[in-house]
Amino acid sequence: MTRTRLLAALVMAPVAIAAVLWLPTGWLMLPSAVVMLLALWEWLRLADVEDTLARSILLACNLALMVALVWGSRSHHTSALPLFQLVVVLGVLWWLLALLWLRHYDFAARHDGSARMLKLAAGTAAVVPAWCALALIHASQPNGHRWLLLALGLVWAADSGAYFTGRRFGGRWFGGRRLAPRISPNKTWEGVVGGVVAALLIALPGALLLGATPAQLPGILLVSAFTVLFSVVGDLLESLLKRHAGLKDSGDLIPGHGGMLDRLDSVLAALPVFALGKIWLGF
């Protein structure tokens, strides 16, 4: 890890944590929408939309969709957000379909109109449900802001656990099989296992500190495991798009880290899964 990368992380992490813990849900939705739309801006670049005006119009359409969801979910009970719940379910279904896309590397790889349209739709299906999930988790009672921090912590822990486990044990436990050699050659199954274990080590004490009962712990751990697995899907899908576009990073907005999408790819897939699991199991 370079010094620039470390310094950028030391600046971003406290800001993100402070925003999650201290901002009311309505106010948190504003900066989170900006961050998500910056990631979508980079996604549009990966979808071969090079024209700035076209990208601006598409971004405005997605912003309008976010505004429409807020307007349609107006209620005295902020935690209700019924349309947000529907969008989160659709988001999880989208990431299940993304698994099929990852199995077929050449699907939508051509730089033609149909491939571009598919990737544009995929961008909306990835970004808007993640934003809705963030709001749902944060607005939940009690301790929604802390549950959101735990959800993000799972992704961060999994990322670190996968990195160090993959470096130390990569290629030793699964006969040298790589996770997705054509998409991301450095990712290993050992790294996935290490990431899940690291996340569960965070999930267990975190859930107990947030007041989860012993009866709820198995469900929370199961949701946490699926959250991490889907975060891997999000990471791989962005890697696939970058390979199709012939790019190393989605952008250069964050020094040492690449683009905003490079930092959010895992989070985009993880948050809808965690939110749906939290609603379904009622923790």
pLDDT per position as a tens digit, 94-123: 999 999 999 998 898 888 889 999 999 999
DSSP state of 78: T
Please report, in angstroms and rounded to a whole number, the separation of the first and last CA atoms in the chain.
36
Please work out, in degrees rounded to the nearest 5, the angle formed at the alpha carbon of residue 222 by the alpha carbons of 22 and 146.
10
Taking only the tens place, the pLDDT of each residue in 195-252 is 999 999 999 999 999 999 999 999 999 999 999 999 999 999 999 999 999 998 888 7
Joined together, the tokens standing for residue 251 give 């952008």
Q: Find residue 184's DSSP bridge partners.
A: 180
255 pLDDT above the threshold of 90: no
- Tens of pLDDT, residue by residue over 124-179, are 999 999 999 999 999 999 999 999 999 999 999 999 999 999 988 987 888 888 89
For residue 185, the surrounding DSSP H or E stretch is: strand 184-188
Q: Is 214 helix (H, G, I), strand (E, B) or coil?
A: coil
3-state secondary structure of 181: coil
**CA 152, CA 214: separation in Å to the nearest integer?**
22
DSSP designation for 104: -
Mean pLDDT of 262-267: 94
Which of helix, strand or coil describes residue 180?
strand
Cα separation of 102 and 7, whole Å?
33
Q: In degrees to the nearest 10, what's the CA dihedral of 94, 99, 102, 108?
A: -30
Query: For residues 250 and 238, is the Cβ–Cβ distance under 8 A?
Result: yes
Separation of alpha carbons 84 and 140, rounded Å: 12
What does the angle CA 9 – CA 207 – CA 229 come to, to the nearest 5 degrees?
A: 60
Report the distance separating Cα 197 and Cα 203, nearest Å. 10
Is the backbone peptide bond immediately before 142 cis, with ω within 30 degrees of 0?
yes
Q: How many helices (H) and strands (E) does the chain have?
A: 9, 2
The answer to whether residues 33 and 66 touch, using CB atoms and an 8 Å cutoff, is yes
Q: 254 - beta bridge partners?
A: 258
* pLDDT tens, position by position, 20-79: 999 999 999 999 999 999 999 999 999 999 899 999 999 999 999 999 999 988 765 555
